[in-house]
Structures are given as C-alpha cells and as structure tokens.
Amino acid sequence: MITPVEDPPVSPATGRPLTKRGQLTRRRLLEAAEQVFADLGYHEASIVKITEHAGVALGTFYLYFDSKQSIFEALVVDLNSRVRHSMSEAMAGAADRIEAERRGFEGFFRFTAQHPALYRVVREAEFVSPAMLKLHYERIVDGYRAGLAAAQRDGEVAAELDTEVVAWALMGAGELIGMRYLLWETDAEGRPPAEIDPAVLDGMTAFITRALRPDTTASQTTKASPTTKGAAG
C-alpha cells in the first residue's frame, strides 16, 4: 500500500498535521533512512537502525511512520521532490531549451553526487514498492514533457519529436551517465567525484543538441532549389 503524501505531513498515530517540531523530527528520520537504506539496502535495514541513526526513541518512529515500508515509500517521494527541485532551480533563467537541458542535468548530477542513495533507493523500489518506482519516474517525465512541448512551440525542438518518448530517453540517458561517471568513478582513495566532469557534460550537451534541434537542412535545400534550377537553365 502506498503511503499517502500530505502537506503538511500527518501523523499516522494521531491523524493530525505535524507541528513544525514534528516536521523537523520527521525530516531527521527521513535523512537517517536515506543513509541506512543506502548503506544496508532495504532488507538489512531496520527501524531500530534508522531511529538509532536519527537519535530518536524507537517509539517516536511510530508517530511519523507505521512501518519500514512506509518510511521507504516516503523516502522515495522525498528524494523525487528534492531532485526535481534541484533540476528546476538549475534550469531557471536558461536562454533556450538546450541551455536548460544542460543546466537541468547539472542540477541532477549535483544532487546525485550529494545523495548517492537516490540510485539504490529507486532501484530497490522496483522490488519493494513497484508503484513508487513508477511514480518517481512519471513525476519527472510529466515536468519534462511540458518543457519540451513549450520549446517545440518556440521552434527550439524539432516539431516531429514525440515529447513523451524524448523525455523518457533523456531521463534514461542522464541516469546511466550519472551512474557511470559519478557512482562508478573513484579516485585513488576510492572516493567518488564531488561533481561530474565538465567534459562529460559537454559531450552530453552535444548529443542532446543534435537530437533535439530542428533540422534546417531540408528547408535550406528547398530555398536553394529554384536558384539552382534557374542557373542550370
């Protein structure tokens, strides 16, 4: 069962919205869960380990979540909200869609470098809570499609492209590039990089530019044809 998302969150024990203090405690539990699930995985993690990491009493946990699965699902929603915010914030003020894409991926990679748990939590959601996995990706795609459609109307993205297909393709590319160049890349001490290599981002931007921009070759050829024909005649 998917844990409902309230704003502000509601205590499952009392049915009442959390106070500001309660929201801070809930945040501590989510941050602890992020670390514990990242280090141990869902099945080895426990409520006891999460509360110990958060520095709260075991009984306090049940004021905010009713099970290990409920805090896991809340964590998926929380990570999703924060990574989308990081991307949106990075894209603000971009001059065009290509710049927005680059900035958005910078925001995604920056968040991933700071919160590598995103990958493990999302991947485990496939088995722990498939509906939450679907929700995570669909929320990202929904915003993505809207931005791409607006860029199509402005002539910055090829009109013949299906924005939903493009959104899923770009999201998949970003996820795998982040995995390769952030999670798997380590220095001599085994530490992952604090940020993605700008050269990797340059290569990704070049690929996206070729994939998204309208092809002007055909229109240029059409315009040139009458002149060419006249010269030949």
> What pLDDT does residue 216 have?
59
* pLDDT surpasses 60 at 227: no
* pLDDT surpasses 90 at 224: no
pLDDT cut 90: percent of the chain above it:
78
**Mean residue pLDDT across the chain:** 88
> What pLDDT does residue 219 have?
45
User: Per-residue pLDDT tens for 90-132?
Assistant: 999 999 999 999 999 999 999 999 998 999 999 999 999 999 9
CA 46, CA 39: separation in Å to the nearest integer? 12
Q: What is the CA radius of gyration of the chain?
A: 23
Cis ω for the linkage preceding 17 (within 30 of 0)? no
> What pLDDT does residue 89 have?
96
- 181: buried, middle or exposed (CB in 10 Å: 19+, 13-18, 0-12)? buried
**9 or 20, which is more confident:** 20
CA 11, CA 28: separation in Å to the nearest integer? 15
Closest CA to 97 of 175, 160, 171, 153: 153
> What pLDDT does residue 15 have?
78
> What pLDDT does residue 232 have?
44
Whole-prediction pTM:
0.84
* pLDDT surpasses 50 at 165: yes
User: Per-residue pLDDT tens for 212-223?
Assistant: 999 755 444 444
Q: How confident is the model at residue 27 (pLDDT cuts 50, 70, 90)?
A: very high
User: Per-residue pLDDT tens for 45-76?
Assistant: 999 999 999 999 999 999 999 999 999 999 99
Q: How confident is the model at residue 14 (pLDDT cuts 50, 70, 90)?
A: confident
> What pLDDT does residue 190 have?
84
Residue 232 gets the label, from left (phi > 0), alpha (psi -120 to 50) or beta, of alpha
Q: Are 121 and 38 in contact (CB under 8 A)?
A: yes
